[in-house]
A and B are shown apart, each in its own frame.
Chain A
Amino acid sequence: RKEVEQDPGPFNVPEGATVAFNCTYSNSASQSFFWYRQDCRKEPKLLMSVYSSGNEDGRFTAQLNRASQYISLLIRDSKLSDSATYLCVVLNYGGSQGNLIFGKGTKLSVKP
C-alpha cells in the first residue's frame, strides 16, 4: 500500500459545482496533514493545513478522520481559477525529524 493515496483524476466539473477529493494514508502515526495546490508548470503552494476538528477557509473545507486514516478536501461553488492539481501531504516523524510525503495529486478542471 502506498504511503499516501489520492483519488485518481481528472475531475471535470462545471463552474459552481461542489467537488470533493479524498486521500488515505498508511502510517497511523502520521502527525500533520496538508493540502497543496499545484498549477500547471508551477511549484506546489500550501492551500491549507488539516486539523483534527476539521477546518474551513472560504469555499474550502478540509476534514481529517484519524480512525480511518482519511483526509478530504471539499470545494464549494468552484471557480475557473480552481483548476489545478491538488496534492495531499502527510507529515511523518522518523527519529527527531519530520518527513513530508506527497500524494500523486488529483487534477481538477473547472469548465465554464
Chain B
Amino acid sequence: EAGVAQSPRYKIIEKRQSVAFWCNPISGHATLYWYQQILGQGPKLLIQFQNNGVVDDSQLPKDRFSAERLKGVDSTLKIQPAKLEDSAVYLCASSLEADSPLHFGNGTRLTVT
C-alpha cells in the first residue's frame, strides 16, 4: 500500500512570502488532516477534511492559512503571507474514517527567515 505522499520535503522562504504544500492521501482514505508540528511540541491539528468537506478548522489561522481538497483526494495547504512563527513541520495524515488510526506523510519542513 502506498503511503501518504507530501511535497516538497523542505522549503525555505522569507517572511511575507507565500508557500503551498501538497498532499496525496492513501487511496480510499476519506479523512485527511493537516497538522503543524513546532520543534519540541506534539502535532497540532490545523484542518480536518471528510471527503471534500471541512469538518474542523477551528485552529486554522484563517487570515493567512487556507486549505482545500476539491475532489476529495489531494489537498493543498497555503500560507500567505508567512510569518517567522510559521516555521515548523507540516504533516499531512489520512485515515479510513474519522476515528481510525492516522497514517502520516513524511512532512514538509518549512523555515521562514
Binding site for B on A (CB under 8 A): 4, 31-32, 34, 36, 42-46, 49, 87, 91, 94, 97-105
- Say what secondary structure dominates the interface of chain A: strand
Q: Does B75 contact A (CB under 8 A)?
A: no
A4, A100, A105: the one contacting B102 at CB < 8 Å is A100
Contact yes or no, B42 A102, CB < 8 A: yes
Query: Which residue among A43, A45, A100, A102 has the maximum number of chain B CB atoms within 10 Å of its CB?
Result: A43
Contact yes or no, B101 A46, CB < 8 A: yes
Contact yes or no, A44 B50, CB < 8 A: no
Contact yes or no, A99 B104, CB < 8 A: no
**Bound CA–CA A102/B91 (angstroms):** 13
**Bound CA–CA A43/B98 (angstroms):** 19
Contact yes or no, B42 A45, CB < 8 A: no
Contacts of B56 in A (CB 8 A): 94, 97, 99
**Bound CA–CA A69/B109 (angstroms):** 34
Give me the 6 closest cross-chain CB pairs, A-B, nearest first. A102-B42, A43-B104, A98-B99, A98-B98, A97-B55, A46-B101
Contact yes or no, A104 B42, CB < 8 A: yes
14 A-B contact pairs sorted by A residue (CB < 8 Å): A31-B99, A36-B102, A43-B91, A43-B104, A43-B106, A44-B104, A87-B43, A94-B56, A97-B50, A99-B45, A102-B35, A102-B42, A102-B43, A105-B42
With contact pairs A31-B99, A43-B91, A97-B50 given, residues A102 and B44 touching in the complex (Cβ less than 8 Å): yes
Report the minimum CB–CB distance from A100 to chain B (whole Å): 7
Chain B residue at minimal CB-CB distance from A85: B42
